Structure 1
């Protein structure tokens, strides 16, 4: 596998070298981010996670679905029909723990229990919890927790998606950086090629010593090596960019032709918009960040669990009432406790309440732990925001310093070239000045990239304050 990767990389490098001067595909940062958002497997995975949370709500609502049941049976031994039974029933759970039931039973046979009723019998009943599970029960808790979990998942997946897009956008601008450095090196190589030809001619005319041609060749060779190294870095960064490029159907985007950025570092709107971005963060509260919303929804889930555990302290007191009516008999509903009825009252009280006390205590501890996690997350977010703001302002000031430094080195180079043309300097000094200019230009490109990356960190942090 490693050998195959090396072969692919070598072919890709050769392909880039052969194709660079030809028509090529350009991609902007907006197009790139759009591709990542719509086709990257992680972005799709995060959206599927949200759909899964929606399915969990549907699953929880299933606990309130009516249940229809039927039973058919018969027992016969040595010609004696012990019993024949037919039963159809419907159970309807309600929100407040009350269950309503209705059924039709037909029973016949020679070996029935004395409490059984022959023939057809209609039944309507209701079960009401009078203490435990009246105000809150497991079915309501599961549904509430599923709703909170959906909001929790949406917040989490939004943060993860924004982190993916931040990584993708910064990878793009690193790619632009390497591309601009490669263009810089290529330009310098062309300049030094022309300088070498001029030096050779001046040597032939006897105006310059032979050592100047050696100096010019050495400088050219040095820049050619730097050009190839810059080109290699550009190809590597293109491969890193390709990791984020996917097609519809989750197919990896394969490079079939050379592509390069259509955006430049100097054209980014961040240079004028960064102050507005900083101003926006003055009015943003950390409590509205999606990461905090995640912990708030988690706290709601834990509170739901605490309410459910509190129910364990209550005695289980259930009242059940059933009304009966035999088939082909006139229904007589009232009074309820006069005829054709059955009722029951069931009481359960744990004596020591040890399980209830332990479960309730654990639920409260989990809430306290989540509160501590929330405070830590707020602190982490505040620190990140301040760090990104400081980085942004610092790199912006460095851009001005770096640009002024570059301008001064360019002036020194121009002055040295003027002195050289007047016979007052040497090619060695020109090359030395030129090296300083190249270093300053690379530094300028690097600082602009760092500025844009810091701007993106703060920009995508802002996206985490709203769904």
Structure 2
């Protein structure tokens, strides 16, 4: 079904281009195209949302340190007997180092109270301190640390994914420009050969040329017309590929309803002149600052936080709790702490075999080792890409220089052959042969420039990942 829809879209674009040629058309520059992708493409918008989600995760983790205010109001009455009447309000304040501070006021009255209950109003101030497990590190601190690391991890991932999207989009744009310039080349060649055929017919009618020359000119024209139609189809298909990156506001796809042509040419790109500066810039960067590696570094921070948390499981859980009381209408006596109006407790928990703790800790260490292996592989991948793209850019630049000189030579040969033909020293066959070579050289030159720009863009967007 997707292939069927794609075929119908191609046919539709062909009809648009065929019947709209020569009418008003849209011009799309390189910078305008990239601006549209950055601003409106759904994937670019999605990556931005991922950062906002990661920021929200930090806010949620900080919520574990929010003070909690609670209240309770209740009464029990059966057959006219008021068992109890209770009013209670308390505030619990968690702190960074696992210490919990709380304060409360409780009013209790009734005829059926427990012996341990205190009648009347009672103010309470207390503190709970972990003496071993959860003192240096606990789940609340780990969640906040991991949320912060996750935000940096997401930002690094967003940079890589966004640059990959822009690389694909930009290379699609230059492929579109390449196909347009080849189509323009073939279209001009067709027009030249139409004029040549008309001139050949006239010279034949005047008796200056043999009839076979008209056949030769017509055959050459038909050959170029076939190449023109093929180039035209390639341009339409590349326009369809370009449309995948054209979106409007609210992530609505831009439907092409009229001709659209590039306003930027391959030869206008500044990459041909500043590629050496780009190569030097990439080679001067520190690999550790690459976003792909930063992603794994932040992931390792998360895993290290998890390892620290799992290490706490080996420690015994010893929680000390102290509460100071002050009964309503009684004078408060704060000191000594363990003399009057107090309550304290110590809670101890020690797992005997520590099997769960040992397993969790071992898993956390193994995950860190896995991530370190990923860092090594990614580092090697980045180094290889830099060398590959650099060599491609330098090689294509050298080929372009050779192709430019070759193109000049083919043009000189064609000019000389046309001069000989006008002097009656050559034939239309030789002119056509020279012209075919020239067209092939021009098309080769266009393709080399497009290949250069694609490799240049790979190196450029790889360089854009060095942002930390």
Say whether the fold is shared (TM-score over 0.5): yes
Structure 1 residue 416: Cα displacement: 2.2
Q: What corresponds to 1:77 in structure 2?
A: 78
Count of residues paired in the alignment: 467
* CA shift for structure 1 position 280: 1.1
Q: Deviations over 1:330-350 (max 9, x none)?
A: 222111111110000111111
Counterparts of 2:56 and 2:275 in 1: how far apart (Å)?
Answer: 41
**Which stretches in structure 2 are left out of the alignment for 5+ residues?**
none
Map of 1:398-417 to 2, 5 A cutoff? Answer: 398-417=399-418
Which range moves more in the overlay, 65-74 or 77-86? 77-86
1:219-260 CA-to-partner distances (Å, cap 9, x unmatched) read 111111111111111111111111111111111112233221
2:31 corresponding residue in structure 1: 30
Summarize the Cα distance change of 1:240–1:4 in structure 2 as closer, same or farther, 3 Å threshold: closer
Larger mean CA deviation between 190-199 and 77-86 belongs to: 77-86
Aligned to 2:102: 101
**How far is 1:24 from its partner?**
2.3
Q: Which one is further off, 30-39 or 414-423?
A: 414-423
Aligned residues of 2:129 and 2:321 also touching (Cα < 8 A):
yes
Normalised TM-score (structure 2)? 0.97
CA distance in 2, matches of 1:153, 1:337: 51
Aligned residue runs from structure 1 range 119-134, under 5 A: 119-134=120-135
Please name the residue that 2:22 is paired with.
21
Per the alignment, in what secondary structure is the counterpart of residue 249 of structure 1?
helix
1:213 aligns with 2:210: no
- 2:326 maps to what in 1? 325
Deviates more, 1:422-431 or 1:360-369: 422-431
Distance 1:389 1:91 in 2: 61
Alignment of 1:353 with 2:364, yes or no, is no
Q: Distance in 1 between matches of 2:173 and 2:280?
A: 26
**RMSD (Å), alpha carbons:** 1.4
- Measured in 2, the distance between the counterparts of 1:450 and 1:75 equals 85
**Contact 2:296 2:371 (8 Å CA) reproduced:** yes
- Alpha-carbon shift at residue 120 of structure 1 (Å): 1.4
Q: Out of 210-219 and 173-182, give the one that drifted further.
A: 210-219
Q: Secondary structure at the match of 2:283?
A: coil
C-alpha deviations, 1:352-379, integer Å up to 9, x for none? 1111111111111111110000000000
Q: Distance in 2 between matches of 1:408 and 1:141?
A: 70
* CA-CA distance at 1:23 after TM superposition: 3.2
Could you say what secondary structure the match of 1:282 adopts? helix
Structure 1: unaligned runs, 5 residues or longer: none
1:67-116, CA deviations, whole angstroms, 9 ceiling, x for partnerless residues?
11112222233333222222111100000000001111122222222111
Query: Do residues 306 (structure 1) and 312 (structure 2) align?
Result: no
Partner of 2:111: 110
The 1-side partners of 2:94 and 2:21 are apart by: 71
SS across alignment from 2:250: coil
Q: Report the equivalent of 2:60.
A: 59
Cα-to-partner distance string for 1:111-132 (whole Å, 9 max, x where unaligned): 2221111111111100000111
SS in structure 1 of the partner of residue 111 of structure 2: coil
Q: Distance in 2 between matches of 1:219 and 1:359?
A: 77
Name the SS for the 1:88 alignment partner.
strand
In structure 2, distance between residues paired with 1:351 and 1:6: 69
Deviations 1:186-243 (A, max 9, x none): 1100100011011111111122221211111111111111111111111111111111
1:267-346 alignment to 2 at 5 Å? 267-346=268-347
Alignment of 1:171-210 (within 5 A): 171-210=172-211
Structure 1 residue ranges, 4+ long, deviating more than 3 angstroms after superposition: 1-9
Please tell me whether the aligned partners of residues 186 and 227 of structure 2 are also in contact (alpha carbons under 8 angstroms).
yes
User: Bigger CA drift: 455-464 or 408-417?
Assistant: 408-417
**What is the Cα deviation at residue 4 of structure 1?**
5.8
